[in-house]
Structure 1
Amino acid sequence: MSICMVCCLGLGFGLCVELGASTVVFSAEVARADASASLSSDLAPVTIESDTHLFTVEHDGSLVEDDDTTLRIDTAAGVDAAAQRYVWFNKDIERILALSAESIDPQGGVHRVGAEAIRDVQEPRAAGAPTFEDGVLRSVIFPGIEPGWREHLTFRKARKASRPDLFQYFATPAREPVLEQRLIFDLPADLPLYADARGYVARTPVTQNGRTRYEFDYRHGPFAPIEQGAVGYENEGDRLMVTTVPSFAAFAERYREDAVDPSAGDPAVVELARSLTRDAPDDWTKAERLYDWTRTNIRYVALFLGETAAKPHRVADILRNRYGDCKDHVALFGALLAAVGIRSEPALIHLGSVYALPSVPGYGAGAINHVIVWLPSLGRFADTTAGGGTAFGFLPPNVMDRPALLVDEGMLARTPATQASAREVRLALEIGEDGDARYSYRVEDEGFPAELERNVFRRATRAGMAQIAQERLRETGLRGMSSIETGDTSATSGPFWVALTGTLEHVLWTDGVTAMPALSSFAGGIASHVRSWLTLPVRTQSYVCIGGTFVEQSTTTLPRDVTLVYTPSDLTIEAPPIRYRSRYVFDPASRVVQVTRRLEANFGKQVCSPSEFEAMRSALVRVERDASAQIIVKAHPDRAALGAP
C-alpha cells in the first residue's frame, strides 16, 4: 500500500490509494477530468496545489516510491484535518529512505519540521494482535499551520521484492480540490501495465532504455457533497486502478497459490471440526455449527485485504491465537469445513458501499478489499467476520449484491441481491382517565435482521437493555417507563423477539382536544424506515435501498369520558416496488381503535437510481403521511363536573 493512510486515517485530502490490481490492457477507459473553473477550492478546507507520485517497479516485485505534495490550508477545518499527517508503511517489507516536511507561511517563509515532530506509531487497528503489528504510521506534525499556510511533504519509500512481476495500485480522490496531480509508473518494458481509469487522463506511454513510463494526470474543482445514503464515490466517480496482473483468473490463481497451507489438516483442526459436528444430520447443519463457532470464537482484526500481505496466516496459528483478519477467517473456516468433507473456496469481494469492481483486478479501497467463503454444494456465501450479527445462510448487507471472484474457479460470480427480511409488531395501549397509558409492545424480526437484533441484546448488560428500551421510546416521541424482555439470545438463528411493557405520560390531555399519533410501532417500524428513505427530497446520486416486509397492528383503548372525533381513512397503494395497506377501525362498545398497516418494499436489489427514487417518491410520501397520521379525541364537556381529574 502507498499513501492510502495519509488520507484515509484522519486527513480527508489528497489521493486515497492502495496497492491493488486492475485489468484490461492500456486502453483504459478515460472519463473527463473535471478541471472546471474556480479551482480556488471555493473555501474547501484544503486544496491540493501539486501532487506527484513516481513508482519505479522492478521485475522481482521490489519498488521505490517518490512522493512530493504541496497542500494549501484554506479554513480552520483544514488546520484540524492537515496539521498532522501520516505516512503508512509495512515495517517488515518497507523502509522510508527519506522524508522531509515544511510549513510555508503566506509571506513565503519556510518552517521546517524537525526530527522531534516526526515519530512512528503503531497502526491502531492492529492493537492487541501481535501478528498484525507490521503496520506503522510515520506521524508528521507541521508547525505554525493557519489558514493561508501551505504544507510541503516529500518522502521516498522502498519495498522489498515480493512476488515476481507483481505490481498493483488503486487511487481515488479524497474529494478535495486538485490543481495538479500526476501519477507516474516506471516499469520494465516487457512488464505491461493494465489499467482502468475514470477521470484520470492517460498520457501516451513512453518506452526507452528498456523501460516504459506510464503517466496519468488528474485535476478537479470542488466536489459535490455525498448525499446521505448514497453509494460509495468510487462506484460512479473518478478512480484509477493499475496492475501487472492481466486478468481476474490470474489474480485468483495468485491468491490460491498464496493460500496453500499444510497446517490446514492439523489434528487439532480436524478434531475440533468433528467434535462440533458429530451428531449433525446433514451438511447444512455441519456448516452452520462450524460457522457459528468461528464467528463467535475467532476475534476479527478489521484490516482490509491488501493492507497486509494477501497470504493468510497458518491455520494452526489462527486456531491457537483465536484472532485473524478476513483471509484468516476464511482459511480457518475452510479448513474446518474440509475436515468434515464440505468443499468451500474463498470469494474475493468489496466490503462497503461500492457495488462494482474496476475492469482490472486488484486490491484497493474501491476495489477488492475483503474475502468471504463460497460453499458450492449449499449454494451459499458466508462471512464469519460479521461476528455475532449474521446467522448462517444470510450475509451482512455490506457484502450483498456485488461481484465476487471465486478463487478456485477463477471466475466472477455475484452475491445475492436480496434476502429475507420481515418485521411483525403488536402494540396495545390502554389510556386511563388521567391521560396516561399502560402499554405492551412486541416486535419479532425474521430473516437477516433477526440476528442483528439478537446480537444487540446478546452484547448488552441489563442496564444497557433498559437504556435501549428508553431510547426506542424517545425516538418515537414518547416519554414513560418501560421494562424489557427478549427471546433467547444464546440462539444463533431463527426469529427473535423483543417485548416492552410500561407506562406512557400524557398520551391525551384531560381538557379540550387532543391529536394522538395513530401508533402501530415504536422506533424501527414502517414510519422510521420510510422517513429514512425520504431523507432527501431529490437525489442526484445512486443510493443504497434495502427493502423488506413490515406488518404492524395496534389497539388503543380510549377512556369512557372522551369522544372520538376523527380517525384516518383506510389507504391502499399499489405502486411497485412499494405496496402498502392500512386500515382503521373503531369499536364503540369496547372503545378500541384498531390500526393495521402492512408495507412491502421489494426493490430487488441494493442500489437504486435517482430516477427510480423520483418514480417511487410520491408513493413513499403518501405512506409516510399515513404512518404519521393522528387520531383526534375530545374530552367530555362535563368532565370536571363529573369529578374526573
Structure 2
Amino acid sequence: MRSTLPHLAASLLLAVPAGVTSAAATAEPAELSTRIQRYHVSYSLNADYTSSETHDWTMQVLKENALSNAKEASISYSTSIEKADVLAAYTLKADGRRIEVPKSNYQVVTNSGNAKDAPVFSDRTRLTVVFPELAVGDTVGFSYKLSQLEPMFPKHFSIVQYFNRNTAYDDVKITIDYPAALWTQVDARELTGAAATEKDGRRQLTWTFANKLPLKNTRRDYSVYEADEVPGLAFSTFKSYAEIAQAYGARATPKAAVTPQVQALADEIAKGRTSPRDTARALYDWVATNITYAGNCIGTGAVVPHDIAFILENKMGDCKDHATLLQALLAARKIESTQALINAGSSFKLARVPVVSRVNHVINYLPAFDLFLDSTSSTTPFGMLPDGSQDKPALLVDGFREGLRTPAPQPGSNVQTMKTRINILDNGSVTGTVEVATKGAYALDLREGLRGAGKQVMDDMVKNVLKGFGYQGSGTFESDDPTALLDTLNYKARFEFKNFTPFPGAGAFAIHPLFTSAAPVARFAASADEEGTPVDFACTNGTSTEEYVFTFPAKMTVLAVPDNMALKTSNQTYKATYRLKGKQLTVLRQVDDRTRGNVCPAAMAAEYDAFAKKLQGNLKSQVVYK
C-alpha cells in the first residue's frame, strides 16, 4: 500500500528564490508566477578549507499570487562558524526606478546563549530583508556573501546545487574556485560547462544553465525524491561516503567515552537485566523516553555532539546527542555499537558524488544483533525504526560496509484485526462492541495518538467517535497502557446509538467500521492522482481484517447483501464474504499487502490503483432491508 511517509522533498532543495519543487515535465507550458532573470553563485575554497560563497539573483514578479513570498528574502547561517553580509538588496520598479532596501527593513533572528555562552542546541541565525513598494511587474534583487570561518569537517568541503525544471531561469552561472592541487570530484547534470582555467595555483570551474520555457509540473507524489534526477551539480573533496563517516566519527566517537557518570547510569538502568539484548533494550528505552529530541542534526555548525554531562543535565539532545549517549551507555555494559549516518527525508539513494547534505541524521547500529536503533523517536519500540529511518543507505562510523541499508519492515509486520458486533433493535438504534488488535506500525500510530489523551478525552472517546460518524450515542472505552514502548496495542469499545437504520420501512446501509482504527480496510482503497506523472513512491506492507456480525430484529427482513469478492495482484489480495443465516449476517473482509521494501516503482502505481478501485466498489455495496 502507499505509505504515509512525510513528503520532505523540499528539504533536499537548495533555497533559491522560486522555492518550488522540481517538475515532471509535460508538453504543456508552465503558468509562471515569477521569473528568475539572473542567478549567479560563486564558491571560493581556501587551502585551509575555509570558504566563501556569493549569491546574486534577480526575480521578476509576474502574478499577484507571488507577491507575498516575493516581498522577503532570507539567509540562514551558523553564527559560530559563518559570517553573512548583504551586498545589495533592492526593488527594481517596472518604470526603471531602483529602490534600495532600507536598513529598517532588515530583521535578524539569532539563536544565542546567555551572555557569551553558546546556545543550547542551535546557533542558526536568520537574516531577512523586506523589499519595499513591490508590485506585479517589478523585479527584486538580492546579493549576499556567506563566509565559512571554520570548515564543517576538517580538510573537507562539499556543496550541492539544484534547479527546478518548472521554474523559469534566464541566466544561471555557477563558479567554483579552489586550490588546483586539491583532489575533487564533480557531478554536473544538464548544465553547460566551460573550459576549466588555472592561474596562480588555483583552478576555476564554471557552468551555465537556462530554462526559459519551463513546462508544467504534473508530478503529485514526492514521497520518494532523488535530487540527482534534476538539473544541478555536486562538488566534493570526499573520495567516498566512508570518508564522510570517518570525518564525522573523528569528533563524535570520543564524545561517547564511558565516564563514571555514564557507568553509574548504565548500571542503574540495566539492573536486573539478564541478557545483553534485554540490557540494550532497557538502555534504548531510557534514552528514547527520557532525552527530549530537539535541535539540529547534521548541518552547518552542527556536526559535533555535546558532552554527555551536558546532555544528561538538560535531558535534551539532537540526533547526534542521542546516538552518542546511547553508544556510551551500551559501551558501559560491554555492548558494542557504532553510530550510523542516514538520510531522514524522502531520499532512498546516495548521491553519485559523496556530499554531506545527503546524510542528515544519526542513529545507532548494534552489530551483535544486526540491529539499528533510532532513539530520537520516543514512540518507536526497540527493534523497530520510525518511517523516516527505514530502508535507507547507512554509513557506519566504525566498520563501514559498502551498500549497507537500514531494514524495511517485512511482510506481515503491520497487522490490524477489528471485530465488530452490532445488534439492531426494533426502533433502528443499535448496541454493540468493537475489539481491535494491532501490531507493528499500526500499533505505534495508535499508541502515539492515545499517549496524549487525558482522562476526559478517554471518557468521551466513544461519544466523540460516534459523533464523527454522524451518530449520537455513548459508550465505554478500554485500552492497553499506551505509554509502553511495545509494537502491539489492543483496545475495546462498547457503544449504543440511535438511528442507525430508519425502521420500520425499507432502506439500506453500507458496512463500515463504527469505531476509529489505524488501518481500516478502506485505507487500502485510496487511489493515486490519475493525472499525476507516474514516479517511484513510498509504500509499505500491511494486513487488515474486519469482521462484522449483525443481528437483526424479528420485524426486519434482509432482502439483499453484497456479493462475495476475491481480488489478487502481484502484491495484494482481498477477500470479502457475506453470509446471511436467519437473522444474522456475518461479514469478513481481509486485505493483505505483501509489498517488500519502502519504495515501489512507478509502474506499480497502476496496479495499486486498479486494485483500489475494485476494492472501493465492494466497500460501497449495501445491505438492503425492509
TM-score by length of 2: 0.89
CA 1:161 to 1:47, structure 2 compared with 1: closer, same or farther past 3 Å? same
Residue in structure 1 matched with residue 574 of structure 2 by the alignment: 580
- Retained in 2: the 8 A contact 1:261–1:315? no
Residue in structure 2 matched with residue 251 of structure 1 by the alignment: 244
From 50, 75, 83, the counterpart of 1:95: 83
Q: Deviations over 1:482-517 (max 9, x none)?
A: 543221123211411233332334221125432211
Residue in structure 2 matched with residue 23 of structure 1 by the alignment: none
Residue in structure 1 matched with residue 535 of structure 2 by the alignment: 541
CA 1:494 to 1:615, structure 2 compared with 1: closer, same or farther past 3 Å? closer
Instruction: Tell me, yes or no, if structure 1 residue 50 matches structure 2 residue 33.
Output: no
Residue in structure 1 matched with residue 389 of structure 2 by the alignment: 399
Unaligned runs of 5+ in 2: 1-9, 113-117
Residue in structure 1 matched with residue 17 of structure 2 by the alignment: 14
Instruction: Tell me, yes or no, if structure 1 residue 559 matches structure 2 residue 553.
Output: yes
- Displacement of 1:204 in angstroms is 3.6
Q: Within 5 A, what are the aligned runs for 1:136-175?
A: 136-162=125-151, 163-173=153-163
Q: Within 5 A, what are the aligned runs for 1:217-296?
A: 217-220=208-211, 221-222=214-215, 224-228=217-221, 230-232=223-225, 234=227, 236-261=229-254, 264-296=257-289
Residue in structure 2 matched with residue 409 of structure 1 by the alignment: 399
- Displacement of 1:292 in angstroms is 0.9
- Retained in 1: the 8 A contact 2:562–2:578? yes
Residue in structure 2 matched with residue 525 of structure 1 by the alignment: 519
- Displacement of 1:408 in angstroms is 0.9
Aligned equivalents of 1:88 and 1:334: distance in 2? Answer: 31
- Give the fraction of aligned pairs with identical amino acids, expressed as a percent: 25
Aligned equivalents of 1:471 and 1:261: distance in 2? Answer: 52
| DSSP 3-state at the match of 1:131 | coil
Aligned equivalents of 1:528 and 1:299: distance in 2? Answer: 35
Residue in structure 2 matched with residue 107 of structure 1 by the alignment: 95
Q: Deviations over 1:534-564 (max 9, x none)?
A: 4547651211111211121111222222210
Unaligned runs of 5+ in 1: 1-6, 18-30, 635-645
Aligned equivalents of 1:279 and 1:617: distance in 2? Answer: 52
- Displacement of 1:281 in angstroms is 1.7
- Displacement of 1:296 in angstroms is 1.0
| DSSP 3-state at the match of 1:55 | strand
- Counting matched residue pairs gives 603
From 602, 623, 639, the counterpart of 2:615: 623
Residue in structure 1 matched with residue 587 of structure 2 by the alignment: 595
Q: Deviations over 1:342-384 (max 9, x none)?
A: 11111111102111110222222xx111111111111111101
Give the letter aligned to residue 183 of structure 2: P
Q: Judge which range, 623-632 or 345-354, deviates more.
A: 623-632
- Retained in 1: the 8 A contact 2:160–2:234? yes
CA 1:13 to 1:537, structure 2 compared with 1: closer, same or farther past 3 Å? same
- Displacement of 1:436 in angstroms is 2.1
Residue in structure 2 matched with residue 59 of structure 1 by the alignment: 47
Give the letter aligned to residue 301 of structure 1: A
CA 1:278 to 1:585, structure 2 compared with 1: closer, same or farther past 3 Å? same
From 485, 505, 508, the counterpart of 2:501: 508
From 415, 420, 426, the counterpart of 1:427: 420
- Displacement of 1:48 in angstroms is 1.6
User: What is the aligned-residue RMSD (CA, Å)?
Assistant: 2.9
- Displacement of 1:390 in angstroms is 0.9
CA 1:515 to 1:12, structure 2 compared with 1: closer, same or farther past 3 Å? farther
Aligned equivalents of 2:50 and 2:286: distance in 1? Answer: 40
CA 1:193 to 1:583, structure 2 compared with 1: closer, same or farther past 3 Å? same
Residue in structure 2 matched with residue 383 of structure 1 by the alignment: 374
| DSSP 3-state at the match of 1:81 | helix
- Retained in 1: the 8 A contact 2:218–2:532? no
| DSSP 3-state at the match of 1:386 | coil
Q: Deviations over 1:194-232 (max 9, x none)?
A: 123334444443222211112233334245144146422
Aligned equivalents of 1:15 and 1:330: distance in 2? Answer: 36
Give the letter aligned to residue 172 of structure 2: Q
Instruction: Tell me, yes or no, if structure 1 residue 324 matches structure 2 residue 314.
Output: no
From 303, 308, 315, the counterpart of 1:310: 303
Aligned equivalents of 1:121 and 1:72: distance in 2? Answer: 27
Residue in structure 2 matched with residue 20 of structure 1 by the alignment: none
Aligned equivalents of 1:493 and 1:510: distance in 2? Answer: 45
- Retained in 2: the 8 A contact 1:73–1:148? yes
Q: Deviations over 1:448-469 (max 9, x none)?
A: 3323321221122234446765
CA 1:435 to 1:218, structure 2 compared with 1: closer, same or farther past 3 Å? farther
Aligned equivalents of 1:32 and 1:212: distance in 2? Answer: 34
| DSSP 3-state at the match of 2:376 | helix
Aligned equivalents of 2:111 and 2:467: distance in 1? Answer: 38
Q: Judge which range, 190-199 or 87-96, deviates more.
A: 190-199
Instruction: Tell me, yes or no, if structure 1 residue 120 matches structure 2 residue 100.
Output: no
- Retained in 2: the 8 A contact 1:93–1:159? yes
Aligned equivalents of 2:83 and 2:554: distance in 1? Answer: 81
- Retained in 2: the 8 A contact 1:527–1:628? no
